[in-house]
Amino acid sequence: MRRIFTKKDSERREAKDGHPRSVHMMVEPATAGSAHLAMGLEAVDPGSRIPVHVHAEAEEVLFVYAGRGRARVGDQEVEVGPETAIFVPKGTPHGFVNTSGGHVHLTWTFAPPGEHEKFRREDLWKHAARATAGDGND
């Protein structure tokens, strides 16, 4: 099993729900043999959002490493920027709005793994070409 992963070699998926964003599947049971978590990257286009949703079976941590936005977790809604971690307990409604003029880049981690498989649902996400320099997803 691999233990070191690069974005350029990861599976890339794009949202089909009218809210432009992309994800890179990085560490997961299928690629790393991880038993207790799955981790990936997400780029939210300027003015776009991660719609409010719930993960019934997993906790999630989002870590913003570039850009600015507004995070909602349960009843809390806060402006966030780089170097901000967002903890989402299992079963808690949450979402994110990109309020900046550029892409927001974040990591997501699910524990236990499983919720990340929703990114492979063909009715919600499509397989996309690998990231290229300057597309906001590199």
Give the CATH number of the domain where residue 61 resides.
2.60.120.10
Q: Is there a domain that residue 136 lies in?
A: no
The mean of the pLDDT values for the chain is: 94
65's tokens: 């490493």
Considering its fold, how many domains does the chain have in total? 1
At residue 131, the pLDDT reads: 56
At residue 133, the pLDDT reads: 47
Residue 8 pLDDT > 50, yes or no? yes
The three-class DSSP label of residue 40 is: strand
Read off the pLDDT of residues 47-78 as tens digits, 9 standing for 90 and up.
999 999 999 999 999 999 999 999 999 999 99
Question: Which residue range forms the structural domain that includes residue 100?
Answer: 7-127
At residue 137, the pLDDT reads: 52
- The pTM of the full predicted model, rounded to 2 decimals, is 0.91
Residue 92 pLDDT > 70, yes or no? yes
Q: For the sheet with 21-27, list strands across it.
A: 84-88, 59-66, 104-111, 38-44, 21-27, 11-15, 125-127
